[in-house]
A and B are shown apart, each in its own frame.
Chain A
Amino acid sequence: MKITDKDVTYVADLANLDLTVQERERMVRDLNSILDYIDRLNELDTANVPPMAQTILQTADATREDVLRPCLAREAALQNAPESDGNFFKVPKVIEK
Protein backbone atom coordinates (compact mmCIF):
# COMPACT_ATOMS: atom_id res chain seq x y z
CA MET A 1 0.00 0.00 0.00
CA LYS A 2 1.57 3.23 -1.15
CA ILE A 3 -1.30 5.50 -0.27
CA THR A 4 -3.01 5.62 3.07
CA ASP A 5 -6.09 7.46 4.22
CA LYS A 6 -3.77 10.11 5.63
CA ASP A 7 -2.20 10.68 2.18
CA VAL A 8 -5.62 10.98 0.61
CA THR A 9 -6.60 13.60 3.18
CA TYR A 10 -3.39 15.55 2.52
CA VAL A 11 -3.72 15.42 -1.29
CA ALA A 12 -7.45 16.26 -1.16
CA ASP A 13 -6.54 19.35 0.82
CA LEU A 14 -3.96 20.37 -1.81
CA ALA A 15 -6.58 19.86 -4.52
CA ASN A 16 -9.30 21.80 -2.67
CA LEU A 17 -11.54 18.75 -2.33
CA ASP A 18 -13.25 17.54 0.84
CA LEU A 19 -14.40 14.03 -0.18
CA THR A 20 -16.84 11.99 1.86
CA VAL A 21 -15.72 9.04 4.00
CA GLN A 22 -16.91 6.64 1.28
CA GLU A 23 -15.09 8.62 -1.40
CA ARG A 24 -11.87 8.50 0.65
CA GLU A 25 -12.06 4.73 1.08
CA ARG A 26 -12.65 4.22 -2.61
CA MET A 27 -9.86 6.70 -3.44
CA VAL A 28 -7.32 4.78 -1.31
CA ARG A 29 -8.18 1.58 -3.16
CA ASP A 30 -8.25 3.10 -6.68
CA LEU A 31 -5.10 5.19 -6.34
CA ASN A 32 -3.12 2.25 -4.98
CA SER A 33 -4.22 0.04 -7.84
CA ILE A 34 -3.36 2.71 -10.44
CA LEU A 35 0.00 3.56 -8.83
CA ASP A 36 0.94 -0.14 -8.74
CA TYR A 37 0.39 -0.18 -12.47
CA ILE A 38 2.32 3.08 -12.96
CA ASP A 39 5.26 1.54 -11.09
CA ARG A 40 6.13 -0.49 -14.15
CA LEU A 41 7.75 2.71 -15.46
CA ASN A 42 10.61 1.88 -13.07
CA GLU A 43 11.53 -1.11 -15.24
CA LEU A 44 13.07 1.44 -17.64
CA ASP A 45 16.46 3.05 -17.11
CA THR A 46 15.93 6.73 -17.84
CA ALA A 47 19.09 8.10 -16.19
CA ASN A 48 20.31 9.72 -19.41
CA VAL A 49 16.96 10.52 -21.00
CA PRO A 50 15.77 14.13 -21.08
CA PRO A 51 12.18 14.79 -19.96
CA MET A 52 9.62 15.81 -22.57
CA ALA A 53 7.05 18.40 -21.58
CA GLN A 54 5.68 19.14 -25.02
CA THR A 55 5.78 17.48 -28.45
CA ILE A 56 7.44 19.30 -31.34
CA LEU A 57 6.24 22.81 -31.85
CA GLN A 58 6.44 24.91 -34.99
CA THR A 59 5.70 28.12 -33.16
CA ALA A 60 8.90 30.11 -33.44
CA ASP A 61 7.13 33.45 -33.14
CA ALA A 62 4.67 32.57 -30.41
CA THR A 63 5.33 35.84 -28.67
CA ARG A 64 3.65 39.07 -29.71
CA GLU A 65 4.21 42.75 -29.20
CA ASP A 66 3.22 43.89 -25.74
CA VAL A 67 0.44 46.21 -26.87
CA LEU A 68 -3.13 46.63 -25.73
CA ARG A 69 -5.69 44.66 -27.68
CA PRO A 70 -9.45 44.48 -27.33
CA CYS A 71 -10.52 41.89 -24.79
CA LEU A 72 -13.69 40.49 -23.28
CA ALA A 73 -16.03 43.24 -22.08
CA ARG A 74 -16.68 43.43 -18.34
CA GLU A 75 -20.36 42.50 -18.65
CA ALA A 76 -19.48 39.47 -20.78
CA ALA A 77 -16.82 38.36 -18.31
CA LEU A 78 -19.27 38.72 -15.42
CA GLN A 79 -22.27 37.14 -17.10
CA ASN A 80 -21.54 33.65 -15.72
CA ALA A 81 -20.56 34.78 -12.23
CA PRO A 82 -22.44 32.93 -9.48
CA GLU A 83 -22.47 36.25 -7.62
CA SER A 84 -21.47 39.71 -8.78
CA ASP A 85 -22.14 43.34 -7.93
CA GLY A 86 -21.93 44.38 -11.57
CA ASN A 87 -18.28 45.37 -11.32
CA PHE A 88 -16.62 42.54 -9.44
CA PHE A 89 -17.03 38.86 -8.63
CA LYS A 90 -18.41 38.45 -5.13
CA VAL A 91 -17.22 35.71 -2.78
CA PRO A 92 -17.94 34.85 0.86
CA LYS A 93 -16.16 37.04 3.37
CA VAL A 94 -12.44 36.22 3.57
CA ILE A 95 -11.64 38.19 6.73
CA GLU A 96 -14.03 38.24 9.68
CA LYS A 97 -14.49 41.62 11.40
Chain B
Amino acid sequence: MDISSLTIASTRAAIAERRITASGLVEDFYRKIKTEDRDIHAWLTLCEERAFAKARRIDDLAENDTVLPPLAGVPMGIKDVMVTQGVRTTAGSKILGTFIPPYDCTAVARLEAAGAIVLGKLNCDEFAMGSSNENSAYGAVRNPRDKSRVPGGSSGGSAAAVAAGMAVATLGSDTGGSIRQPASFCGVVGLMPTYGRVSRYGLIAFASSLDHIGPLARTVRDAAIVLRVIAGHDAMDSTSAQVPVPDYEQEIAKPVRGLKLGVPKEYFGEGLDPEVRAAVEAAIARLGAEGAEIVPISLPHTPYAVPAYYVIATAEASANLARYDGVRYGYRSPQARTLGEMYRRSRDEGFGAEVKRRIMLGTYVLSAGYYDAYYLKAQKVRTLLARDFEAAFQKVDVIVTPTAPTTAFRIGEKTDEPLAMYLADIYTVTGDLAGVPGVSVPCGMAQSGLPIGLQVLGRHFDEGTVLRVAQAVEDAAQTRP
Protein backbone atom coordinates (compact mmCIF):
# COMPACT_ATOMS: atom_id res chain seq x y z
CA MET B 1 0.00 0.00 0.00
CA ASP B 2 1.22 3.47 -0.86
CA ILE B 3 0.93 5.32 2.43
CA SER B 4 1.74 8.67 0.85
CA SER B 5 -1.66 8.83 -0.86
CA LEU B 6 -3.78 8.01 2.20
CA THR B 7 -6.56 10.36 3.22
CA ILE B 8 -8.43 10.45 6.51
CA ALA B 9 -11.40 8.59 5.03
CA SER B 10 -9.31 5.91 3.29
CA THR B 11 -7.19 5.34 6.42
CA ARG B 12 -10.21 4.96 8.66
CA ALA B 13 -11.98 2.68 6.18
CA ALA B 14 -8.92 0.45 5.70
CA ILE B 15 -8.65 0.00 9.48
CA ALA B 16 -12.39 -0.54 9.97
CA GLU B 17 -12.42 -3.20 7.22
CA ARG B 18 -9.28 -4.71 8.77
CA ARG B 19 -7.26 -4.44 5.59
CA ILE B 20 -4.57 -2.79 7.70
CA THR B 21 -3.97 -2.26 11.39
CA ALA B 22 -3.28 1.13 12.95
CA SER B 23 -0.13 -0.31 14.55
CA GLY B 24 1.16 -1.57 11.21
CA LEU B 25 0.42 1.78 9.65
CA VAL B 26 2.30 3.64 12.36
CA GLU B 27 5.28 1.32 11.78
CA ASP B 28 5.15 2.09 8.05
CA PHE B 29 5.08 5.83 8.69
CA TYR B 30 8.01 5.73 11.09
CA ARG B 31 9.99 3.68 8.58
CA LYS B 32 9.29 6.25 5.89
CA ILE B 33 10.13 9.15 8.22
CA LYS B 34 13.42 7.56 9.29
CA THR B 35 14.61 7.17 5.71
CA GLU B 36 13.07 10.14 3.90
CA ASP B 37 13.23 12.82 6.55
CA ARG B 38 17.03 12.80 6.61
CA ASP B 39 17.16 15.31 3.80
CA ILE B 40 13.86 17.12 4.50
CA HIS B 41 14.15 17.58 8.28
CA ALA B 42 10.45 18.14 8.93
CA TRP B 43 10.48 16.28 12.26
CA LEU B 44 12.12 17.41 15.47
CA THR B 45 10.87 14.78 17.93
CA LEU B 46 9.13 11.43 17.42
CA CYS B 47 6.90 10.03 20.17
CA GLU B 48 6.79 6.36 19.24
CA GLU B 49 5.65 5.02 22.59
CA ARG B 50 2.67 7.35 22.67
CA ALA B 51 1.82 6.65 19.02
CA PHE B 52 1.89 2.86 19.35
CA ALA B 53 -0.19 2.98 22.54
CA LYS B 54 -2.87 4.99 20.71
CA ALA B 55 -2.64 2.70 17.68
CA ARG B 56 -3.21 -0.41 19.78
CA ARG B 57 -6.33 1.16 21.22
CA ILE B 58 -7.68 1.79 17.70
CA ASP B 59 -6.85 -1.78 16.69
CA ASP B 60 -8.78 -3.06 19.71
CA LEU B 61 -11.81 -1.03 18.65
CA ALA B 62 -11.56 -2.37 15.11
CA GLU B 63 -11.24 -5.97 16.31
CA ASN B 64 -14.41 -5.56 18.36
CA ASP B 65 -16.20 -4.03 15.36
CA THR B 66 -16.85 -0.84 17.34
CA VAL B 67 -17.75 2.19 15.23
CA LEU B 68 -14.46 4.04 14.81
CA PRO B 69 -14.08 7.71 15.75
CA PRO B 70 -13.65 10.24 12.90
CA LEU B 71 -9.83 10.28 12.88
CA ALA B 72 -9.32 6.64 13.82
CA GLY B 73 -5.74 5.59 13.17
CA VAL B 74 -4.87 8.70 11.18
CA PRO B 75 -1.11 9.39 11.53
CA MET B 76 -0.59 13.09 12.21
CA GLY B 77 2.17 15.51 13.15
CA ILE B 78 2.03 18.58 15.37
CA LYS B 79 3.92 21.83 14.85
CA ASP B 80 6.36 22.13 17.72
CA VAL B 81 4.66 25.25 19.11
CA MET B 82 1.82 23.17 20.59
CA VAL B 83 2.61 21.58 23.93
CA THR B 84 2.39 17.81 24.32
CA GLN B 85 2.46 16.21 27.74
CA GLY B 86 5.67 14.28 28.26
CA VAL B 87 6.90 14.98 24.72
CA ARG B 88 9.63 17.60 24.23
CA THR B 89 8.28 20.86 22.80
CA THR B 90 10.87 23.37 21.58
CA ALA B 91 9.03 26.02 19.53
CA GLY B 92 12.05 25.66 17.23
CA SER B 93 14.09 27.48 19.86
CA LYS B 94 17.22 26.63 21.78
CA ILE B 95 15.65 28.30 24.81
CA LEU B 96 13.10 25.43 25.05
CA GLY B 97 15.55 22.74 23.96
CA THR B 98 14.81 20.43 26.90
CA PHE B 99 11.26 21.54 27.73
CA ILE B 100 8.91 18.64 28.56
CA PRO B 101 5.40 20.10 28.91
CA PRO B 102 3.25 18.96 31.84
CA TYR B 103 -0.03 19.16 29.87
CA ASP B 104 -1.54 18.79 26.37
CA CYS B 105 -2.66 21.53 24.02
CA THR B 106 -6.47 21.35 23.63
CA ALA B 107 -6.28 20.95 19.84
CA VAL B 108 -3.91 17.99 20.21
CA ALA B 109 -6.04 16.42 22.95
CA ARG B 110 -9.11 16.74 20.71
CA LEU B 111 -7.31 15.06 17.80
CA GLU B 112 -6.30 12.12 19.96
CA ALA B 113 -9.75 11.88 21.52
CA ALA B 114 -11.05 11.55 17.94
CA GLY B 115 -8.69 8.64 17.30
CA ALA B 116 -5.77 10.41 15.61
CA ILE B 117 -2.25 9.14 16.21
CA VAL B 118 0.35 11.79 16.91
CA LEU B 119 3.63 10.59 15.41
CA GLY B 120 5.72 13.49 16.67
CA LYS B 121 6.55 17.17 16.59
CA LEU B 122 7.31 19.21 13.50
CA ASN B 123 10.05 21.68 12.75
CA CYS B 124 9.17 25.38 12.43
CA ASP B 125 10.69 28.84 12.55
CA GLU B 126 11.71 29.78 16.09
CA PHE B 127 8.56 30.82 17.99
CA ALA B 128 6.77 30.73 14.61
CA MET B 129 8.69 33.83 13.49
CA GLY B 130 9.62 33.44 9.87
CA SER B 131 8.40 32.74 6.35
CA SER B 132 10.92 30.11 5.24
CA ASN B 133 11.59 27.80 8.20
CA GLU B 134 15.23 28.92 8.07
CA ASN B 135 14.89 30.47 11.55
CA SER B 136 14.64 27.11 13.33
CA ALA B 137 17.39 26.61 15.90
CA TYR B 138 17.43 22.97 14.77
CA GLY B 139 18.14 23.61 11.09
CA ALA B 140 16.09 24.45 8.01
CA VAL B 141 13.39 22.28 6.50
CA ARG B 142 13.71 21.49 2.78
CA ASN B 143 10.79 21.60 0.38
CA PRO B 144 9.95 18.02 -0.70
CA ARG B 145 8.99 19.33 -4.19
CA ASP B 146 12.50 20.75 -4.69
CA LYS B 147 15.03 20.28 -1.92
CA SER B 148 17.04 23.37 -2.87
CA ARG B 149 14.03 25.47 -1.89
CA VAL B 150 12.35 26.48 1.34
CA PRO B 151 9.03 24.90 2.36
CA GLY B 152 7.73 28.28 3.51
CA GLY B 153 7.12 29.18 7.10
CA SER B 154 6.63 29.24 9.83
CA SER B 155 4.75 25.89 9.70
CA GLY B 156 7.33 24.55 7.21
CA GLY B 157 7.64 21.13 8.83
CA SER B 158 3.85 20.76 8.95
CA ALA B 159 3.54 21.47 5.21
CA ALA B 160 6.59 19.41 4.18
CA ALA B 161 5.49 16.37 6.20
CA VAL B 162 2.13 16.28 4.40
CA ALA B 163 3.68 16.97 0.98
CA ALA B 164 6.24 14.17 1.45
CA GLY B 165 3.60 11.70 2.67
CA MET B 166 5.17 11.47 6.14
CA ALA B 167 1.81 12.27 7.79
CA VAL B 168 -1.77 12.19 6.53
CA ALA B 169 -2.46 15.59 8.08
CA THR B 170 -0.77 17.98 10.50
CA LEU B 171 -1.49 20.96 12.70
CA GLY B 172 0.17 24.31 12.11
CA SER B 173 -0.25 27.79 13.49
CA ASP B 174 -0.88 31.02 11.58
CA THR B 175 -0.08 34.50 12.88
CA GLY B 176 0.73 36.25 9.58
CA GLY B 177 0.35 33.46 7.03
CA SER B 178 2.27 30.62 8.68
CA ILE B 179 -0.21 27.90 7.68
CA ARG B 180 -1.29 29.18 4.26
CA GLN B 181 2.06 30.30 2.80
CA PRO B 182 3.89 26.98 3.45
CA ALA B 183 0.81 25.10 2.20
CA SER B 184 1.12 27.10 -1.02
CA PHE B 185 4.89 26.46 -1.32
CA CYS B 186 4.55 22.71 -0.70
CA GLY B 187 1.38 22.08 -2.73
CA VAL B 188 -0.94 21.09 0.13
CA VAL B 189 -4.12 22.50 1.66
CA GLY B 190 -3.67 24.81 4.66
CA LEU B 191 -6.54 26.30 6.63
CA MET B 192 -6.47 29.22 9.05
CA PRO B 193 -9.82 29.21 10.87
CA THR B 194 -11.58 32.33 12.15
CA TYR B 195 -9.95 33.98 15.18
CA GLY B 196 -11.55 32.24 18.16
CA ARG B 197 -12.75 29.18 16.25
CA VAL B 198 -10.06 26.88 17.64
CA SER B 199 -8.81 27.01 21.23
CA ARG B 200 -5.21 28.17 21.65
CA TYR B 201 -4.83 26.58 25.08
CA GLY B 202 -1.37 25.03 24.94
CA LEU B 203 -0.22 27.00 21.90
CA ILE B 204 3.06 28.73 22.76
CA ALA B 205 2.08 32.37 22.36
CA PHE B 206 3.64 34.58 19.70
CA ALA B 207 1.09 37.38 19.13
CA SER B 208 -2.10 36.70 21.04
CA SER B 209 -4.48 38.85 18.98
CA LEU B 210 -3.27 37.13 15.79
CA ASP B 211 -2.40 33.52 16.67
CA HIS B 212 -4.52 30.72 15.16
CA ILE B 213 -4.24 26.91 15.09
CA GLY B 214 -5.35 25.09 11.95
CA PRO B 215 -4.88 21.97 9.82
CA LEU B 216 -2.67 21.18 6.83
CA ALA B 217 -3.75 18.23 4.71
CA ARG B 218 -3.58 16.69 1.26
CA THR B 219 -7.23 17.42 0.46
CA VAL B 220 -9.81 20.05 1.30
CA ARG B 221 -12.02 17.32 2.72
CA ASP B 222 -9.32 16.24 5.17
CA ALA B 223 -8.78 19.82 6.31
CA ALA B 224 -12.55 20.10 6.82
CA ILE B 225 -12.67 16.90 8.89
CA VAL B 226 -9.79 17.99 11.12
CA LEU B 227 -11.28 21.45 11.62
CA ARG B 228 -14.53 19.98 12.84
CA VAL B 229 -12.65 17.93 15.43
CA ILE B 230 -10.52 20.76 16.83
CA ALA B 231 -13.07 23.62 16.57
CA GLY B 232 -15.40 24.80 19.30
CA HIS B 233 -15.36 26.53 22.64
CA ASP B 234 -12.85 25.54 25.29
CA ALA B 235 -13.20 26.67 28.89
CA MET B 236 -9.39 26.86 29.09
CA ASP B 237 -9.19 29.62 26.43
CA SER B 238 -11.33 32.67 27.12
CA THR B 239 -10.80 33.89 23.53
CA SER B 240 -12.34 30.73 22.06
CA ALA B 241 -15.75 31.47 20.61
CA GLN B 242 -19.17 30.21 21.61
CA VAL B 243 -20.26 29.58 18.03
CA PRO B 244 -21.77 26.27 16.82
CA VAL B 245 -19.48 24.14 14.63
CA PRO B 246 -21.18 22.94 11.43
CA ASP B 247 -20.51 19.72 9.54
CA TYR B 248 -17.95 21.02 7.07
CA GLU B 249 -18.10 17.86 4.97
CA GLN B 250 -21.68 18.74 4.09
CA GLU B 251 -20.67 22.29 3.25
CA ILE B 252 -17.98 21.26 0.78
CA ALA B 253 -20.41 19.02 -1.09
CA LYS B 254 -22.42 22.06 -2.19
CA PRO B 255 -21.74 23.59 -5.63
CA VAL B 256 -20.26 27.09 -6.02
CA ARG B 257 -22.99 28.14 -8.46
CA GLY B 258 -24.50 31.43 -7.38
CA LEU B 259 -21.72 32.35 -4.94
CA LYS B 260 -20.19 35.78 -5.33
CA LEU B 261 -16.39 35.71 -5.48
CA GLY B 262 -14.58 39.00 -4.90
CA VAL B 263 -11.28 39.53 -6.70
CA PRO B 264 -9.37 42.39 -5.02
CA LYS B 265 -7.20 44.34 -7.44
CA GLU B 266 -4.61 45.10 -4.73
CA TYR B 267 -3.63 41.42 -4.63
CA PHE B 268 -2.78 41.31 -8.32
CA GLY B 269 -0.41 44.26 -8.57
CA GLU B 270 3.32 44.84 -8.58
CA GLY B 271 5.47 42.04 -7.17
CA LEU B 272 3.15 39.21 -8.21
CA ASP B 273 4.99 36.55 -10.22
CA PRO B 274 3.39 36.30 -13.72
CA GLU B 275 3.09 32.51 -13.52
CA VAL B 276 1.33 32.72 -10.15
CA ARG B 277 -0.99 35.37 -11.55
CA ALA B 278 -1.83 33.24 -14.59
CA ALA B 279 -2.56 30.12 -12.54
CA VAL B 280 -4.75 31.97 -10.03
CA GLU B 281 -6.64 33.85 -12.75
CA ALA B 282 -7.24 30.60 -14.64
CA ALA B 283 -8.57 28.94 -11.48
CA ILE B 284 -10.90 31.90 -10.87
CA ALA B 285 -12.14 31.68 -14.47
CA ARG B 286 -12.93 27.98 -13.96
CA LEU B 287 -14.99 28.88 -10.86
CA GLY B 288 -16.81 31.41 -13.05
CA ALA B 289 -17.50 28.71 -15.62
CA GLU B 290 -19.11 26.64 -12.85
CA GLY B 291 -21.59 29.41 -12.18
CA ALA B 292 -19.90 31.50 -9.51
CA GLU B 293 -20.17 35.22 -10.06
CA ILE B 294 -16.79 36.96 -10.30
CA VAL B 295 -16.89 40.47 -8.80
CA PRO B 296 -13.95 42.89 -9.06
CA ILE B 297 -13.47 44.55 -5.66
CA SER B 298 -11.01 46.77 -3.82
CA LEU B 299 -9.45 46.38 -0.37
CA PRO B 300 -7.78 49.78 -0.45
CA HIS B 301 -5.70 49.55 2.73
CA THR B 302 -3.92 46.35 1.70
CA PRO B 303 -0.54 48.10 1.13
CA TYR B 304 -0.51 49.04 4.82
CA ALA B 305 -1.10 45.54 6.15
CA VAL B 306 2.52 44.35 6.39
CA PRO B 307 3.79 47.48 8.18
CA ALA B 308 0.82 47.42 10.61
CA TYR B 309 1.38 43.72 11.17
CA TYR B 310 5.06 44.11 12.05
CA VAL B 311 4.22 46.70 14.69
CA ILE B 312 1.35 44.77 16.28
CA ALA B 313 2.84 41.28 16.06
CA THR B 314 6.24 42.31 17.42
CA ALA B 315 4.70 44.41 20.22
CA GLU B 316 2.67 41.41 21.38
CA ALA B 317 5.64 39.09 20.94
CA SER B 318 7.90 41.27 23.07
CA ALA B 319 5.40 40.91 25.92
CA ASN B 320 4.72 37.18 25.37
CA LEU B 321 8.40 36.28 25.19
CA ALA B 322 9.24 38.14 28.40
CA ARG B 323 8.39 34.89 30.22
CA TYR B 324 11.58 33.20 28.97
CA ASP B 325 13.88 34.24 31.76
CA GLY B 326 15.56 31.02 32.84
CA VAL B 327 13.59 30.76 36.09
CA ARG B 328 10.71 28.30 35.71
CA TYR B 329 11.54 26.35 32.55
CA GLY B 330 13.78 26.52 29.55
CA TYR B 331 17.43 27.38 29.14
CA ARG B 332 19.39 29.05 31.95
CA SER B 333 22.84 30.40 31.21
CA PRO B 334 25.43 28.75 33.44
CA GLN B 335 27.57 31.91 33.28
CA ALA B 336 25.39 34.24 35.33
CA ARG B 337 26.20 35.33 38.88
CA THR B 338 23.33 37.74 39.56
CA LEU B 339 19.61 37.52 38.82
CA GLY B 340 19.66 40.30 36.20
CA GLU B 341 22.65 38.75 34.51
CA MET B 342 20.87 35.41 34.47
CA TYR B 343 17.83 36.88 32.72
CA ARG B 344 19.90 38.66 30.08
CA ARG B 345 22.42 35.90 29.40
CA SER B 346 19.78 33.18 29.26
CA ARG B 347 17.81 35.21 26.71
CA ASP B 348 20.92 36.26 24.78
CA GLU B 349 22.17 32.70 24.48
CA GLY B 350 18.73 31.10 24.11
CA PHE B 351 17.07 33.24 21.41
CA GLY B 352 18.04 33.34 17.73
CA ALA B 353 18.64 36.45 15.62
CA GLU B 354 15.12 36.90 14.19
CA VAL B 355 13.46 36.46 17.58
CA LYS B 356 15.78 39.07 19.10
CA ARG B 357 15.07 41.41 16.18
CA ARG B 358 11.33 41.12 16.79
CA ILE B 359 11.60 41.48 20.55
CA MET B 360 13.68 44.63 20.00
CA LEU B 361 11.25 46.09 17.45
CA GLY B 362 8.26 45.24 19.64
CA THR B 363 9.86 46.71 22.73
CA TYR B 364 10.77 49.86 20.80
CA VAL B 365 7.25 50.49 19.42
CA LEU B 366 5.79 50.07 22.90
CA SER B 367 8.40 52.22 24.65
CA ALA B 368 7.68 55.65 26.12
CA GLY B 369 7.45 58.29 23.41
CA TYR B 370 6.84 55.85 20.55
CA TYR B 371 3.66 54.09 21.66
CA ASP B 372 1.29 56.55 19.93
CA ALA B 373 3.41 56.95 16.82
CA TYR B 374 3.75 53.24 16.16
CA TYR B 375 1.60 50.93 18.25
CA LEU B 376 -1.55 53.04 18.46
CA LYS B 377 -1.17 54.08 14.83
CA ALA B 378 -0.91 50.45 13.73
CA GLN B 379 -3.98 49.50 15.76
CA LYS B 380 -5.95 52.23 13.99
CA VAL B 381 -4.75 51.02 10.61
CA ARG B 382 -5.87 47.55 11.68
CA THR B 383 -9.39 48.98 12.08
CA LEU B 384 -9.22 50.33 8.51
CA LEU B 385 -8.10 46.93 7.20
CA ALA B 386 -10.93 45.18 9.06
CA ARG B 387 -13.41 47.70 7.62
CA ASP B 388 -12.13 46.92 4.11
CA PHE B 389 -13.16 43.31 4.67
CA GLU B 390 -16.50 44.22 6.27
CA ALA B 391 -17.38 46.38 3.27
CA ALA B 392 -16.28 43.72 0.81
CA PHE B 393 -18.32 41.00 2.51
CA GLN B 394 -21.44 43.16 2.09
CA LYS B 395 -21.00 42.59 -1.63
CA VAL B 396 -19.37 39.17 -1.98
CA ASP B 397 -19.42 35.79 -0.20
CA VAL B 398 -15.69 35.08 -0.36
CA ILE B 399 -12.52 36.76 -1.61
CA VAL B 400 -10.08 34.89 -3.86
CA THR B 401 -6.42 35.85 -4.23
CA PRO B 402 -2.99 34.33 -4.69
CA THR B 403 -1.69 32.93 -1.36
CA ALA B 404 1.85 34.22 -1.90
CA PRO B 405 3.40 36.47 -4.57
CA THR B 406 5.85 33.76 -5.71
CA THR B 407 6.44 30.04 -5.65
CA ALA B 408 8.93 28.60 -3.10
CA PHE B 409 12.18 30.57 -3.11
CA ARG B 410 15.69 29.18 -2.72
CA ILE B 411 17.20 28.36 0.65
CA GLY B 412 19.34 31.34 1.67
CA GLU B 413 17.77 33.68 -0.88
CA LYS B 414 16.20 36.09 1.62
CA THR B 415 18.01 35.41 4.89
CA ASP B 416 20.05 38.63 4.80
CA GLU B 417 17.11 40.96 4.22
CA PRO B 418 14.42 40.76 6.91
CA LEU B 419 12.16 43.14 5.00
CA ALA B 420 12.25 41.04 1.79
CA MET B 421 11.34 38.01 3.90
CA TYR B 422 8.43 39.88 5.54
CA LEU B 423 6.96 40.64 2.11
CA ALA B 424 6.48 36.90 1.47
CA ASP B 425 3.41 37.31 3.73
CA ILE B 426 1.94 40.27 1.87
CA TYR B 427 -1.32 38.50 0.88
CA THR B 428 -1.80 36.56 4.10
CA VAL B 429 -1.26 39.04 6.98
CA THR B 430 -4.51 40.80 6.11
CA GLY B 431 -6.58 37.75 7.08
CA ASP B 432 -4.88 37.49 10.48
CA LEU B 433 -5.32 41.21 11.16
CA ALA B 434 -9.04 41.08 10.30
CA GLY B 435 -9.57 37.73 12.05
CA VAL B 436 -11.30 36.21 9.03
CA PRO B 437 -10.80 32.57 7.96
CA GLY B 438 -8.62 31.70 4.97
CA VAL B 439 -7.46 28.62 3.16
CA SER B 440 -4.70 27.98 0.64
CA VAL B 441 -5.47 25.31 -1.94
CA PRO B 442 -3.21 24.16 -4.79
CA CYS B 443 -4.47 25.58 -8.11
CA GLY B 444 -1.69 24.83 -10.55
CA MET B 445 2.00 24.52 -11.15
CA ALA B 446 4.76 26.75 -12.48
CA GLN B 447 7.06 25.68 -15.36
CA SER B 448 9.58 24.73 -12.68
CA GLY B 449 7.14 22.15 -11.33
CA LEU B 450 6.64 24.14 -8.13
CA PRO B 451 3.09 24.34 -6.80
CA ILE B 452 0.98 27.51 -6.77
CA GLY B 453 -1.63 28.19 -4.10
CA LEU B 454 -4.91 30.08 -4.31
CA GLN B 455 -6.24 31.72 -1.18
CA VAL B 456 -9.93 31.90 -0.28
CA LEU B 457 -10.90 34.34 2.51
CA GLY B 458 -14.37 34.40 4.03
CA ARG B 459 -16.65 36.00 6.58
CA HIS B 460 -16.06 35.45 10.28
CA PHE B 461 -17.00 31.87 11.22
CA ASP B 462 -17.91 31.02 7.62
CA GLU B 463 -15.21 28.38 7.10
CA GLY B 464 -17.95 26.32 5.41
CA THR B 465 -18.16 28.58 2.37
CA VAL B 466 -14.39 29.09 2.29
CA LEU B 467 -13.84 25.32 2.17
CA ARG B 468 -16.63 24.87 -0.39
CA VAL B 469 -14.87 27.21 -2.82
CA ALA B 470 -11.52 25.55 -2.08
CA GLN B 471 -13.12 22.18 -2.88
CA ALA B 472 -14.22 23.49 -6.28
CA VAL B 473 -10.69 24.76 -6.97
CA GLU B 474 -9.26 21.37 -5.97
CA ASP B 475 -11.74 19.46 -8.15
CA ALA B 476 -11.00 21.66 -11.15
CA ALA B 477 -7.22 21.43 -10.65
CA GLN B 478 -7.42 17.63 -10.56
CA THR B 479 -9.64 17.13 -13.60
CA ARG B 480 -7.68 19.56 -15.76
CA PRO B 481 -5.77 17.87 -18.63
Contacts and interface: CB of A to CB of B under 8 A. Distances in A.
B is bound to A? yes
Interface of A: 3, 7-8, 10-12, 14-19, 23, 26-27, 30-31, 33-35, 37-44, 46, 49-64, 72, 76-77, 79-83, 89, 91-94
Nearest to B238: A62
B196 A57 contact: yes
Nearest to A8: B360
Nearest to B385: A52
B336 interface: yes
Contacts of B344: 16-18
B328 A55 contact: no
B311 interface: yes
Contacts of A37: 306-307, 310, 419
A41 B378 contact: yes
Contacts of A42: 377
Contacts of A15: 318, 322, 347, 359-360, 363
Q: Which of B306, B328, B337, B353 has the most CB of A within 10 A?
A: B328
Given A55-B434, A62-B239, A80-B328, 18 more contacts: A8-B360, A14-B367, A16-B340, A17-B347, A17-B356, A31-B361, A31-B364, A33-B418, A41-B377, A49-B380, A49-B383, A55-B386, A55-B435, A58-B461, A77-B328, A80-B99, A80-B102, A94-B339
B301 interface: yes
A68 B220 CA distance: 43
A27 B361 CA distance: 9
16 contacts: A11-B360, A12-B360, A15-B347, A15-B360, A16-B322, A17-B356, A30-B357, A31-B360, A31-B364, A34-B418, A35-B361, A44-B301, A50-B380, A51-B382, A76-B102, A89-B327
Q: Which of A3, A7, A51, A76 has the most CB of B within 10 A?
A: A51
A72 B242 contact: no
Interface of B: 98-100, 102-103, 195-196, 209, 235, 238-243, 301, 303-304, 306-308, 310-311, 318, 322, 325-332, 336-345, 347-348, 351, 353, 356-357, 359-361, 363-364, 367, 374, 376-384, 386, 418-419, 422, 433-435, 460-461
A12 B360 CA distance: 7
A44 B209 contact: no
Contacts of A39: 307
Q: Which 4 A-B pairs have the closest CB atoms?
A: A55-B435, A51-B379, A80-B329, A82-B332
A57 B307 contact: no
Q: Is the interface of B mostly helix, strand, loop or mixed?
A: helix
Contacts of A82: 326-327, 329-332
A19 B327 contact: no
B338 A93 contact: yes
Contact of B381 (A44, A55, A61, A93): A44
A81 B341 CA distance: 18
Nearest to B461: A58
A40 B374 CA distance: 11
B196 A7 contact: no
Contact of A41 (B99, B337, B343, B381): B381
A59 B380 contact: no
Given A46-B380, A51-B383, A57-B196, A16 B339 contact: no
A83 B306 CA distance: 41
A88 B433 CA distance: 40
A35 B129 CA distance: 18
A34 B380 contact: no
A14 B363 contact: yes
A8 B364 CA distance: 9
Nearest to A90: B327
